[in-house]
Structure 1
Amino acid sequence: MDLKRAKHFFTKDNLLGFFKPTKRNYIIWAVIIVLIFEGSCISSKKKASQSVSVRETDIVTRGDINVTITGSAAVEPYERFEIIPKVSGDIVYCPFDVGDIVEKGDLLYGFDTSSSDLTVERQRLSLEQSENSYKNALEERDKLYIKAKNNGTISGLSVKAGQEVKTGTKIADISDTDNLEVVLPFTASQISSIHIGDSASITSSKHMSAVSGIVTHISSGDYAASDGTALYSVTIKFSNPGVFYSGMSVGGAVGQNISPGSGTVENSAASSVYAETDGTISHIYYSNGDYVTKGTVIMLLTSDSVDDRITDSTLSYKSASLSMRQTEKDLEDYNITSPISGTVITKNSKAGDTIDKTTAQTVMMVVADISKLKFELSIDELDISKVSEGQTVSVTCDALPGETFLGYITTISVEGTAQNGVTTYSAEVVIDEPGNLRPSMNIDASVITESAENVLLIPTEDIKSVGKKTYVFVKGGKKDIKEAQSSEKTSKMPENGEKQSDNIPKAPDGYTAVEIETGVANEDYTEVKKGLSEGQEIYRQSTVSTSNTSRYMSGMNSGMGSGHPGGNMGGGPPSGGMR
Structure 2
Amino acid sequence: MKKWMSIGVVVILLAGGGFWLYKSNQTVATAEAQVMTSTVQRGDIEVQVSGSGTVASINSNDVAAASGGEVDEVLVSENDVVEEGTELVTFTDGSDPITAPHAGTITTLDVEAGDNLQNGQVVAHVTDYVTLQTVIGVDELDIASIKEGQVAKITASAYPDESFTGTVTKVSKEGTSTNGVSSFEVTVQFDDPKDLLIGMSTEVNITTESKQSVLYVPIEAVKINGNEKYVMIQESATSEDEEAVTTQQVVETGINDDQNIEIVSGLEEGQIIQLAITLSSSSDSATDRGAMRDFSGTGGASGFPSGSGMGTPPTDRVGRGGE
TM over 0.5: yes
In structure 2, the partner of 1:287 is: none
SS at match of 1:461: helix
Match of 1:440 in 2: 199
Offset at residue 441 of structure 1 (A): 2.3
Kindly state the Cα deviation for residue 513 of structure 1 after the two structures are TM-superposed: 0.9
Structure-1 residue corresponding to 2:151: 392
**Structure 1 residue 544 corresponds to structure 2 residue 279:** yes
Find the counterpart in structure 2 of residue 347 from structure 1: 108
How many Å apart are 1:446 and its aligned residue? 1.7
Could you tell me which amino acid in structure 2 is paired with residue 337 of structure 1?
T
Distance, in Å, in 2 between the alignment partners of 1:441 and 1:371 is 14
Q: What's the secondary structure of 1:70's corresponding residue?
A: strand
Of 257, 260, 267, 1:522 maps to 257
Change (3 A) 1:70 1:408: same
Give 1:512 deviation, angstroms: 1.3
**Matching residue of 1:453:** 212
- Of 166, 171, 184, which aligns to 1:412? 171
Indicate conservation of the 8 Å contact 2:222/2:230, yes or no: yes
Report Cα offsets for 1:66-122 as digits up to 9, x if no partner.
1111112112112111246799999885443343122334343568x7xxx8xxxxx
Equivalent residue in structure 1 for 2:51, among 62, 68, 71: 71
1:362 & 1:524 partners in 2: Cα distance? 56
In 1, the alpha carbon distance for the partners of 2:304 and 2:272 equals 26
Unaligned 5+ runs, structure 1: 1-38, 118-327, 481-507, 549-559, 572-579
SS in 2 for 1:415: strand
Q: Does 1:103 find its partner at 2:70?
A: no
SS in 2 for 1:99: coil
Amino acid at match of 2:261: T
Query: Relative to total residues, which structure has the larger strand share, 1 or 2?
Result: 2
Deviation at 1:464, TM superposition (A): 1.1
Residue 56 in structure 1 maps to residue 56 in structure 2: no
Change (3 A) 1:47 1:516: closer
SS at match of 1:385: helix
Preserved contact between residue 88 and residue 354 of structure 1 (Cα < 8 Å): no
Deviation at 1:343, TM superposition (A): 1.7
Match among 48, 62, 65 for residue 82 of structure 1:
62
Matches within 5 A, 1:83-482: 83=63, 93-109=73-89, 336-344=98-106, 346-347=107-108, 349=110, 351=112, 365-476=124-235
Letter in 2 for 1:408: T
CA distance in 1, matches of 2:282, 2:158: 39
Does the 8 Å contact 1:523/1:562 carry over to 2?
A: no
1:356–1:533 Cα change, 3 Å: same
**1:350 positional shift:** 6.3
Given the alignment, which residue of 531, 540, 559 partners 2:266? Answer: 531
- Letter of the aligned partner of 1:101 in structure 2? V
Tell me, in whole angstroms, the C-alpha distance in 2 between the residues paired with 1:569 and 1:93. 60
| Partner Cα distance (2:178, 2:129) in 1 | 32
The share of aligned pairs that are identical, in percent, is 32
Q: 1:520 to 1:95 in 2, by over 3 A?
A: same
What is the match of residue 286 of structure 2? none
> CA contact under 8 A between 2:62 and 2:125: conserved in structure 1?
yes
Answer whether contact 1:69 1:569 (CA < 8 A) is retained: no
Structure 1 residues 103 and 521: alpha-carbon distance in aligned structure 2, compared to 1, 3 A threshold: closer
**Deviation (angstroms), 1:510:** 3.5
Deviation, 1:471, is 0.8
Q: Which has the higher contact order (CA 8 A, sep 6+)?
A: 1
SS at match of 1:371: coil
So what's the TM-score if we normalise by structure 1? Answer: 0.38
Where does residue 283 of structure 1 map in the other structure?
none
Give the direction of change, closer, same or farther, for the CA distance of 1:72–1:569 in structure 2 (3 Å limit).
Answer: farther
Please say if residues 87 and 99 of structure 2, whose CA atoms lie closer than 8 Å, have aligned partners that are also in contact: yes
Query: In structure 1, the residue corresponding to 2:153 is in which secondary structure?
Result: strand
| 8 A Cα contact 1:348 1:363, kept in partner | no
Cα 1:569–1:98 shift into 2, 3 Å: farther
Distance in 2, Cα, partners of 1:528 & 1:402: 34
Q: Which has the higher helix share?
A: 1
CA deviation map 1:404-458 (0-9, x unaligned): 3332222322333333332333232223433333322222222212222222221
Measured after TM superposition, the shift of residue 474 of structure 1 is 1.3
Shift in CA distance, 46/562, structure 1 to aligned 2, threshold 3 Å: closer
RMSD: 4.6
Aligned to 2:247: 512
More displaced, 428-437 or 443-452? 428-437
Change (3 A) 1:353 1:462: farther
Structure number with greater Rg is 1
Partner Cα separation in structure 2 for residue 67 and residue 444 of structure 1: 16
SS in 1 for 2:144: helix
Counterpart-to-counterpart distance in 2, 1:347 and 1:364? 8
Partners of 1:371 and 1:432 within 8 A in 2: no
Q: In the aligned structure 1, how far is the partner of 2:219 from the partner of 2:318?
A: 14
8 A Cα contact 1:562 1:570, kept in partner: no
| CA distance, structure 1, for counterparts of residue 114 and residue 57 of structure 2 | 28
Check conservation: 2:36, 2:274, Cα contact below 8 A: yes
Counterpart residue identity of residue 270, structure 2:
G
Q: Which amino acid aligns with 1:72?
A: S
One-letter amino acid of the counterpart of residue 446, structure 1: N
Give the secondary structure class of the aligned counterpart of 2:77.
coil
